């Protein structure tokens, strides 16, 4: 996740939002999270309290400055899909947007990971953010599986699996201080989810019957119930 979406030019003052994030993390690392107040942050950034709360509702939010943007991007990505998209692949691709956010600034992401481990309140905040991502994925899948007897259950299980697989790989990368290829780790984890839950269309099966010396072939899905195959044969043979 990046606290600075673009590096400022030489002599150019960073945007206020990024300046607040930079000041906050400098103080968190020097003094500790609990010992740092909003007044300390705005004093170091050279702005007023009103400016801080214009960008961040609370001190916790300055630790996770880009999650709202990433969540909005994820919801937009899911909404832009259509019925031809394989739904499990779509939510896996959506999860990769979160990895991209972390990968924009590995140093900042590792610092935040260490800080979050030390502060129970931040761990609880992070869990609430993760739940929002999971709800977004589950909502998309519920819509795609609507009408199926197991639609809601399947959607919720797959969404949880995607989040768990993504976070397992992401945290492994963060524990390594951002070394290695995070994308490859996440791809491997999400490939496991896809291989477990993605629905691969069954090849059609054929049923044949002879009518007046001619062979009639009826093609149907492999998972079609037998009665439907028989009904199709009867229709072709004129017995339906």
Domains, the chain, ranges and CATH?
Answer: 16-62 (1.10.10.60), 66-197 (1.10.357.10), 204-237 (no CATH)
Across 132-153, average pLDDT: 96
- Evaluate whether 87 touches 52 at the Cβ level (below 8 Å): no
Q: Residue 215 pLDDT > 90, yes or no?
A: no
Least confident of 38-42, 46-50, 161-165, 232-236: 232-236
Name the residue with tokens 């993760």: 130
Q: Average pLDDT for residues 90-115, to the nearest whole number?
A: 94
Distances (CA, A) of 35 to 47, 51, 71: 20, 21, 30
pLDDT band at 12 (very low <50, low <70, confident <90, very high): very low
Residue 13 in this model has a pLDDT that exceeds 60: no
197 pLDDT higher than 60: yes
**Overall average pLDDT of the 161-178 stretch:** 95
Q: Which residues lie across from 206 on neighbouring strands?
A: 219
- Across residues 172-189, what is the average pLDDT? 93
Alpha-carbon separation of residue 29 from 23, 45, 180, 200 (angstroms): 10, 15, 25, 49
Residue 61 has pLDDT above 80, yes or no: yes
Q: Where are the beta strands (DSSP E) in the chain?
A: 204-211, 214-221
Angle, helices 16-31/106-118, rounded to nearest 10 degrees: 50
Mean pLDDT for 42-63 is 93
Single out the residue of 186, 238, 175 nearest to residue 212, CA to CA. Answer: 238
DSSP 11-23: TPPPPHHHHHHHH
- Please tell me the pTM assigned to this model: 0.74
- Model pLDDT, residue 199: 80
pLDDT band at 49 (very low <50, low <70, confident <90, very high): very high
CA distances from 104 to 6, 100, 166 (A): 10, 6, 17
Q: Which range among 26-30, 162-166, 177-181, 197-201 has the greatest average pLDDT?
A: 162-166
15 — pLDDT class (breaks 50, 70, 90): confident
DSSP per position, 44-97: HHT--HHHHHHH-SSHHHHHSTTHHHHHHHHHHHHHT--TTS-HHHHHHHHHHH
Q: In 3D, which of 210, 211, 208 has the Cα closest to residue 220?
A: 208
Grade residue 180 by pLDDT with cuts at 50, 70 and 90.
confident
Percent of residues, the chain, with pLDDT higher than 70: 77
User: Is pLDDT of 232 > 90?
Assistant: no
Phi-psi region of 158 (alpha: psi -120 to 50; beta: other; left: phi over 0): alpha
Task: Evaluate whether 26 touches 107 at the Cβ level (below 8 Å).
Answer: no
Residue 9 has pLDDT above 50, yes or no: no
pLDDT-wise least confident of 49-58, 102-111, 207-216: 207-216
């Amino acid at each position: 996740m990046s606290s600075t979406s673009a590096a400022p030019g030489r002599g150019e003052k960073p945007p206020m939002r990024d300046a607040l994030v930079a000041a906050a993390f400098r103080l968190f690392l020097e003094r500790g999270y609990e010992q740092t107040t909003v007044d300390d942050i705005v004093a170091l950034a050279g702005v007023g309290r009103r400016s801080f709360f214009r960008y961040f509702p609370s001190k916790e939010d300055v630790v996770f400055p880009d999650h709202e943007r990433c969540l909005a991007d994820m919801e937009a990505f899911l909404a832009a899909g259509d019925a031809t998209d394989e739904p499990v692949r779509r939510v896996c691709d959506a999860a990769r947007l979160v990895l991209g956010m972390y990968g924009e600034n590995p140093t900042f992401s590792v610092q935040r990971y260490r800080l979050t481990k030390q502060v129970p309140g931040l761990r609880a905040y992070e869990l609430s953010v993760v739940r929002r991502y999971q709800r977004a994925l589950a909502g998309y899948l519920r819509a795609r599986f609507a009408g199926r007897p197991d639609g809601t259950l399947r959607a919720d299980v797959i969404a949880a699996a995607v989040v768990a697989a993504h976070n397992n790989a992401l945290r492994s990368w963060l524990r390594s201080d951002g070394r290695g290829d995070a994308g490859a780790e996440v791809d491997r984890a999400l490939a496991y989810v896809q291989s477990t839950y993605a629905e691969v269309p069954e090849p059609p099966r054929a049923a044949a019957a002879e009518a007046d010396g001619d062979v009639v072939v009826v093609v149907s899905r492999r998972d079609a119930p037998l009665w439907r195959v028989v009904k199709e044969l009867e229709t072709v043979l004129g017995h339906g």
